[in-house]
Structure 1
Amino acid sequence: MHTKYGYDGGGLGMINVLVVDDSAFMRKLISDFINEHPGMKANDTARNGKDALQKLTKHKYDVVTLDIEMPEMGGLEALTHIMNDHPCPVIMVSSLTQEGAEQTMQAMEEGAVDFVGKPSGAISLDLHLIKEDLIFKIEAAAKVNMSAHLNKKTIPGRLPAKKTLPHKIEEKKILAIGTSTGGPKALQNVLPCLERNFPAPIFIVQHMPPAFTESLAKRLDHLSSISIKEAVDGEVAKKGTAYIAPGGKHLKVRKMGMSLVNEVTNAPPLNGHRPSVDVLFSSLAELKEYHTAALIMTGMGSDGAKGLLEIKKNQSCLAVAESKKTAVVYGMPKAAANTAETDYNLDLDEIAPFLNQQFCRT
């Protein structure tokens, strides 16, 4: 049972995992963590990418954990081959360094569904610190909709609106986004498609550990017309800028005079999450004179659903969830749709045109 994140141990059957790492010690440690869980089994191990591809040719696995730094064939090269020849959910196992973060973001773009960070380098004797996170992410990865995950097409266009945000120029608007497993790729489908003069600040919670959100923000900023950065405590939020909650910290938004200010805190995790979508959304619910479009995209669990309901009760809100058709993991969007009765359930490719229509129409 995985009570911290709400996993009850049922519904999937046995999850078969291939563990890939060049260290025999790390292979055994990761395998032991997996085998201690009643719903999972480390079926086999591989010492590098080349070895892993040979194993994948002979057997089918529900999830692969893939180290990045390995001899003969590293994780990034192996990942490319896996996505082309044996597409399946892959979780990267990365060092918690700036270089490791950049490689991990590249891996997410190449098709990895999630990652965990080794706490103290390639041979982490303290790997038990991320054991719970690893088990949770393997369980989430096993639920991934691979056809949705691998779909890269983009459909331009505008959507008819059954409910809209107020469009008077003086109206104060906010866009808030929450996502988890599969989120980096989903964000890459949405943020670069927003119009350059997007007339609202954007606040984002992507479940990530420390050291990785800065790399995510830089990659998204490079691809986008709007500005995207990691949120800093005390900074004034500007229209046309997206602020991503730093990994391992909560992001709140408060009013100061006529401005909105980011508040980054080390408050305890909420329901296992820090950053938490619910924490961000609850702070936005206090801004009663604002109008919020709140978007929940792919992710496991229910983070954001209660906060979305709070926003709807306290202010003019447009509630949007990613559809089951395109969500890599349809957990968070489903919870939002059920708990807060979302106004729209949109395919991933429809979201950016819809937001441009809502915020940027004259």
Structure 2
Amino acid sequence: MALITCKSKQESSPIQESAGENSNPIFNIAFGSCNKQDMENPFWNDILEMDPHLWIWGGDNIYADTDDMELLKSMYDKQNKVEGYALLKSKIPVIGTWDDHDYGLNDGGEEFTMKDGSQQQFLDFMGVAPESERRARKGIYAAHTYEIPAGKIKVLVLDTRYFRSRLEKDENPGRRYKPNAAADATILGEAQWEWLQNELQSSDANFNLIVTSIQFLSREHGFESWGNFPKEIERMNQLISNSKAKGIMILSGDRHISEFSITQLESMSYPLIDFTSSGLTHSYSNFEAEPNPYRVGSVTSVTSFGLIELNLETREAKLKIMGENGLVHQEIKQQY
């Protein structure tokens, strides 16, 4: 069996790939968001059928909305006992980020008073070792590197909650929030920005995936997104363009819809994709329309999960919005 190695500054563990003795250049990643622990998630068997090497939580992994840490723990425990999820965890690595509902405060950011306790509960849920440096660091951001004979995949998991400045309400009744242009307004906070810059600039991976719980490119809907902090968008665009890292793409969640958004940044030889996959147990089923000039294809407003097939030899990525029983709602391909 071919050996896949998972490396990060925090943890390192071997993963066995059931691909025989031949070197397989394909690395499959499944991901999703918006998972209510009290509702049936129909996708766990479907995800395993896709034979992924990795599962990534995109946020709202449970719905807690509480500052009671014992209650939060019980909700994580309930999710861990879901039969399909427990089976998935026994077979492949699980990493991810949080969003507001598992963080503990709806649309919450730096102002959440129990964020440190919530961080520890999240790290418990993710199986992070008690002695890990992530236990002492503020925020849940982390880097994970996976290596197969054909090359490396790096996953940079961002924390868009712990440091994020307060959102500004929009006076327009059709929009929830408006852009905050204050000089010190932030999503990531300075320490996380420095970390992200170092991770991208030093990366020798064939593909670099940035996981953000909120959408990066789709910004005109008036809900939470990077669009609420335009200076942070500019900083991310410059960082991605200047890093020269290979195969950068963004994975997002939060919206209870799935869609592909694509733009071309200056100094990049390939387009930047924001692949939104949401939600797993419930969706924006009455979705009709909303503006997104970066959208490619259409919005998938039924429950779904995301699947990414990375070919490390040909540098091609296949991105799929998946339904039950192998149904592909939408698919795009990108050469890097």
Q: TM-score, normalised by structure 1?
A: 0.31
Structure having the higher helix fraction is 1
TM-score scaled to structure 2, two decimals? 0.33
Higher strand share: 2
